[in-house]
Structure 1
Amino acid sequence: MQSKAIFGGKVGRSNYKDIARRAGVGTATVERVLNGRGGVRPELVEKVVAAARSLNYPRVLPDAHRGLLRIDVLMVRPETTFYRRLSKAFERIAATLDPLVVVHRRFAEEMNPQDIARHIAAADVPRAGLILAVPNSPLIRSAVEKVVAQGVPVVHVVTRASEDGVDFVGIDNYAAGRTAAHFISRMARAEGPVVALCHPIYQVHRDRIRGFSEYFRDRPGSIGFEWLGFTRDEEHFGAESLSIALEKYPDLVGLYNAGGANAALIEVLRRHSRGKDILFIGHELTDYTRSALREGIMDVVLDQAPEAQAQRALDIVLRRVGLTAVEPDRNPIRFITITAESL
């Protein structure tokens, strides 16, 4: 049986050889899979079925072959707006994919690396890929290395959970930090000290702070980076850190939050007599940050477009398993700069 397929812009007819070439297997393997003859390893079955579907091979596959391509997505902090947006993006994109592909989303406890590592290492069914939006730790890195050694495609999204050459999808966080510093240095309403807040268990937060710090190091002047507070990216600790900074620096002119927990910071500034005098830059467009921009409490929001990150991460996995021939863009996701004037 043959079907029309497009190769290099030309329409042709796909056959067992085309499928075998796309899947990286022999034609005999293709024949056994498509005719349900058995005796083929599950991972090869997945590749053949994916290749056949990508070539629009006109054959109804046996029910046993459906749902074979399971992509697991592991995230943390479902209570946050950002991770809810990310999860929802995976859900929406999954609904547009071939029924062969099942995207399974799961949340783990952020401050429990044992729990995260267990979810990474254990799979109740075979995986076609694993997408991770989790923090970094030795236990997590070890679990990732074991999955990679098994030949499962792994993609880090938003932040890196390991430094093992695995694909990473996210913004240029160093550039985001420098961008925040640039805005503060140019837009601050007076001369004086600047502070920043972050959650250091995330590599992306460290990268942002490094960019932020080095910008001011490279451009010494009357506006300078003086203090860094650690917040766990939680509202209570963020509010406490900002209150300490306001007391320590009564002439504070700039605030950069490298994390996403902005609601409590906004409330602290709303209540403070100098709240609108301090140039405040943070990440992620939410109901809170949108309102704060309109009120003049926040000045700039850098949004890292979780929807684009989810799409790119899935594109990479689908390319790795042969379900698409299109090579995904490997450049950093563009972050979006939002002000009150662009809402």
Structure 2
Amino acid sequence: MKTTLKDIAKAAEVGTATVERVMNGRGNVRPETVEKVLVAARRLDYRRKLPERHRGLIRIEVILVRPETTFFARLSRGFERIAATLDSSVSVNRTFVNEADAKSIADRILHPAARRSGLILAVPQYGAVGAALRQLLGQGVPVLQVMTGMDSGDAALVGIDNEAAGRTAGLLMSAMQRRSGPVVALCHSEVYSVHRRRIRGFSQGIERHGRGNLNFVELLYTFDDAMEASAQLVDAMRRYPDLAGLYNAGGANFALCDVLRRHRATDGIFFVGHELTERTTSALREGIMHIVIDQSPEAQARRAMDMMLSRLGVLDTPVDNPPIRFVTVTSENI
């Protein structure tokens, strides 16, 4: 049955005259009302081409950090590819902010450059950011989180089971490292709860599955900075000459690999890290890295976007949010 303007009006809970004004681009309709009409029309599969003035009226903003890093670059490209497939009434705007500037992140959450329909966050968990998120949720704006992980039932977290990823790292290191010795782990810092969960899982994995040969002795913060990561590893190797294991829950794997090459420690230290890239693939082939856990940022972008479109009413079915499957890669399945 063909969808009529009356059908759209009923679904949007507005008058038929309002729908007619929206569909003919006549103006004098509040943006919020236009958005309701467009969502209803899309849900009812109304085929008419939208007026140019209404293109991109349903605006979804994605706030990210550090475009130079592999994870966030892949996540951003994932959102970019998805945006290219969406209806012309929906636009996706990606905004990169300074990871270290909590105030600017909070300001962007509360004061967007243009009116937004929904927000997807992939930023650190500073106190000011959490306060801004709670304020925004109080305004009724749909919010989803990728990597952020602040406690809020109204802003669901999309991503892998990070504790399970850490436990997997601990399990495989315990099973595959033949020699004994201390183990250190590295992560960004305390501002990403997903990293804290990975470290907690790793500790559990070593404890549960270890044969008494490995001892998790220290957690080091690198802020995913290459120079800091290198310095921390060099110092750890000095303090623990018999270092047997290295787990990196964050970024800058390439810098750690360079240290291991320079110190010719590639045979003795079992190295598990995250993110499958050209560099980590090469490190697996060389035997410098032994396990890479990839968290499929493209799948996280797809899930987050589907959930947001469902919350905005563009999709008429709910989207479940079980953990995204992570991929465990070795030199045998590159």
> Which interval holds the TM-score relative to the shorter structure?
over 0.9
Residue 245 of structure 1: aligned partner: 236
Q: Distance in 1 between matches of 2:130 and 2:10?
A: 34
Q: Distance in 2 between matches of 1:294 and 1:36?
A: 58
How far has the Cα of 1:38 moved from its partner?
5.7
How far has the Cα of 1:68 moved from its partner?
0.4
Match of 1:306 among 297, 309, 316: 297
Is residue 213 from structure 1 mapped to residue 216 from structure 2 by the alignment? no
Residue 116 of structure 1: aligned partner: 105
Q: Distance in 2 between matches of 1:167 and 1:47?
A: 23
Tell me if structure 2 keeps the 8 A contact 1:269–1:276: no
Q: Distance in 2 between matches of 1:304 and 1:80?
A: 14
Match of 2:42 among 38, 50, 53: 53
Specify every segment of 5 or more residues in structure 2 that has no aligned partner in the other structure, as ranges: none
With the length of structure 1 as denominator, give the TM-score of the two structures: 0.90
4+ runs deviating over 6 angstroms: none
Match of 1:281 among 257, 272, 283: 272
Pick closer, same or farther for the CA change 1:84–1:167 going to 2, 3 Å.
same
Post-superposition CA distance 1:78-112 (Å, at most 9, x none): 11122111111111111111111111111111111
For 1:75, the aligned partner's letter is: L
For 2:262, the aligned partner's letter is: R
1:99-178 alignment runs, 5 A limit: 99-160=88-149, 162-165=150-153, 166-178=155-167
Residue 226 of structure 1: aligned partner: 217
Tell me if structure 2 keeps the 8 A contact 1:22–1:322: no
1:61-76 alignment runs, 5 A limit: 61-76=50-65
Post-superposition CA distance 1:299-337 (Å, at most 9, x none): 010011011111111111111111112322310111111
SS for the counterpart of 2:332 is helix
How far has the Cα of 1:17 moved from its partner?
5.9
Q: Distance in 1 between matches of 2:11 and 2:284?
A: 50
Pick closer, same or farther for the CA change 1:22–1:170 going to 2, 3 Å.
farther
How many residue pairs get matched? 330
Q: Distance in 2 between matches of 1:248 and 1:70?
A: 52
Pick closer, same or farther for the CA change 1:331–1:22 going to 2, 3 Å.
farther
Q: Distance in 2 between matches of 1:264 and 1:74?
A: 27
For 1:294, the aligned partner's letter is: R
Q: Distance in 1 between matches of 2:24 and 2:278?
A: 53
Q: Distance in 2 between matches of 1:189 and 1:325?
A: 53
Residue 247 of structure 2: aligned partner: 256
Residue 189 of structure 1: aligned partner: 178
Specify every segment of 5 or more residues in structure 1 that has no aligned partner in the other structure, as ranges: 1-11
Q: Distance in 1 between matches of 2:7 and 2:228?
A: 58
Q: Distance in 2 between matches of 1:262 and 1:128?
A: 37
SS for the counterpart of 1:275 is coil
Match of 2:74 among 85, 110, 126: 85
How far has the Cα of 1:61 moved from its partner?
3.0
What is the RMSD computed on CA atoms of the aligned residues?
1.9
How far has the Cα of 1:64 moved from its partner?
2.5
Tell me if structure 2 keeps the 8 A contact 1:280–1:299: yes
SS for the counterpart of 2:148 is coil
Tell me if structure 1 keeps the 8 A contact 2:186–2:250: yes
Match of 1:315 among 303, 306, 329: 306
For 1:212, the aligned partner's letter is: F
For 1:169, the aligned partner's letter is: V
> Which shows bigger deviation, 289-298 or 190-199?
190-199
SS for the counterpart of 2:59 is strand
Q: Distance in 1 between matches of 2:199 and 2:24?
A: 56
Post-superposition CA distance 1:107-137 (Å, at most 9, x none): 1111110111111111222111111110001
1:10-29 alignment runs, 5 A limit: 12-16=1-5, 18-20=7-9, 22-23=11-12, 25-26=13-14, 28=16
Q: Distance in 2 between matches of 1:272 and 1:258?
A: 22
